[in-house]
Structure formats: structure tokens, C-alpha cells
Amino acid sequence: MKSQIQEYINIAKLTKKERESEEATSQRVSDNVQTQVQNTIDTHSAWKQTSDSEQPVLHPIIESDGQPELDLFKEYQAEQEKLPEEVDIKVRKYTIPLDGASKCTISVQWTIGNSSTWIKVDPAEDGSSAAIQLNINHPFFKPFSEKEDFKMVLEKFAIAFALAEIRARKNANPDGMISPNAFRTHINNFLRELTDED
């Protein structure tokens, strides 16, 4: 009995060490994410607000070689627009139960080439289906577009996005207005349903 108690104590100590390690790692990762996102905002944001009452004014950020970063980005966008949009021939279909009585069939294709739009959603009028084209060549996704796990997350997010859009349209007021809060609530619920955790 004494050896079993000692074994439980050892397990508890190990678990406590793991929790402390996870908390430290989590804090480090959180700090790193914040730093990276803030650096992106600081170095790549060309829109600066001079005062709360004025409209945003575009200020190009000057790179070390003297070329305005905004001009480089516009040149990049112009070149991307010239590329033909390639649609992956593989169509992935998912049937998702929306409630006890209805389902929605979502088809997803990846596009490569033109990087102007990150997602295109073409829902059926009745909300029973939707076709999604996901642009994995969009500048925001490009650094991660070769990673399979990122593509899985992106595809799940796009499905949740499309389903939330469909559901929010069904709940629109008579003028067709959709509450942003309704969309956020729906996407939150669909993201929760699309997690791998039980």
C-alpha cells in the first residue's frame, strides 16, 4: 500500500511539472504570436490614421533600398492578377447536418493563381448546398499553403464560414440585414462542431 501511495505522489509531481511546463510554453507562444502579429501590423500596414476625425491617409512605408513597400505590393498584386486562375480538379464534398431536419452539402476546391480573393462561396438559394473555392495562393496563406495540416484547418474554417453565412442569411430581417453578432455566433458554433476534440 505504501508503494502505491508513493507511486501516486510521483505521478502527481510529474503532472504538476508538466502543467507548469505547458503554462510556461503557452505564455511564451502567446507572447511570440503577439510580437509577430504586431510586427506585421507595424511594418506592413500602409494605412495610418492622423486623427480620429480624419479619413485614413495612405503613407507608403520606405524600405531600406528606398523603394516604397506599397509600390512593391501593388506591383506584386498586378502580376498576380495576370496569372490565370487554376482550379484544382479535385472536389471534396461534405454533407453537414444543420439541425434534425436539414443538411447542407458543401463542395470545396482549391484555386491557385490569381490572389485577389481568399474565398468564393456560391450558396444555393435554399441553403441546401454551397460551392467553395479556396485560394491557397492568397498572400496571407501563401507561406503556409504547402503544409497539409494548415490546409485542413483552412478548409474547416472555410466550411464553418460558408455555413455561418448560409445560416445568417436564413435569419436575416425582412430588409435582408444580417446581424454581425448572428454571423459570429453561427461561425463559432460551426467551428466548435468541426473540431477534432470530443
The pLDDT of residue 130 is above 90: yes
Q: Does 145 or 184 have the greater pLDDT score?
A: 184
pLDDT value of residue 178: 84
* pLDDT given for residue 52 in this prediction: 45
Which one has a higher pLDDT value, 136 or 49? Answer: 136
pLDDT score of 126 more than 80:
yes
- What was the pLDDT predicted at 81? 64
Question: What are the cell numbers at 100?
Answer: 434534425
pLDDT at 135 over 80: yes
Q: What is the predicted pLDDT for the residue at 29?
A: 66
Q: What is the tens place of the pLDDT at every residue in 68-122?
A: 666 776 676 666 666 666 777 788 999 888 777 888 999 999 887 666 788 999 9
Q: Are the C-beta atoms of residues 59 and 73 closer than 8 Å to each other?
A: no
Q: 186 or 56, which is more confident?
A: 186
Cα atoms in the 13 Å half-sphere on the side-chain side of 183: 10
Q: What is the pLDDT of residue 80?
A: 60
Single-letter code of the amino acid located at 139: P
Q: What is the mean pLDDT of residues 145-163?
A: 90
Model-level pTM? 0.62
> Where does the pLDDT of residue 14 fall: very low under 50, low under 70, confident under 90, or very high at 90 and above?
low
